[in-house]
Amino acid sequence: MTSSPLLVLLILALAGPAAAPDAPGQAPETQRVPVEGGGSYTDVGAAGLAAMLERKDFRLVNVHVPYEGEIPGTDLFIPFNQVEANVAKLPADKGARLVLYCRSGGMSAIAARTLVRLGYTDVWNLDGGMIAWRQTGHPVLPKGR
């Protein structure tokens, strides 16, 4: 069966950015990651984040240290190991969506677990970080902040 491009776009739009697959027939590019002690965060791939950025309604936070550039649309830079000390920079609403990234995904996964333990309930992590983002053809703004 062949789907028209318009039908595919309509289905993706109705599904929302978190459920949008990379291509027809592929599974969504998100995964829930449980956090020790309770709660979880969502890993999202580069294509999923790109779709989310088209309708940005979240804070995008670079947690990589040292600073090595950023994804366009980044709202904050908070070192992954200083998230708890900088919680005042984050929304007071712990249900607000926060999307974290670093260079490869490791530091942002640590930061995501910290935020979940602090009570944030809609935390996302860019799986593969800026490396995966670049590999899928998306730009990273150079150093110089």
The domains of the chain, with CATH numbers, are: 27-135 (3.40.250.10)
Kindly report, residue by residue over 9-48, the tens digit of the pLDDT.
334 444 443 333 334 333 348 999 999 999 999 999 999 9
Kindly report, residue by residue over 82-102, the tens digit of the pLDDT.
999 999 999 999 999 999 999
Q: What is the mean pLDDT of the chain?
A: 85
Q: Which of 8-12, 44-48, 60-64, 126-130 has the lowest mean pLDDT?
A: 8-12
d(CA 83, CA 1): 49
Banded model confidence at residue 110, pLDDT cuts 50, 70, 90? very high
d(CA 16, CA 77): 27
The edge-to-edge listing of strands for the beta sheet with 98-101 is 30-34, 40-44, 123-126, 98-101, 59-62, 76-77
Tokens of 76: 């904050």
Q: What is the CB-side half-sphere exposure of residue 82 using CA atoms within 13 A?
A: 13
Record the pTM.
0.79
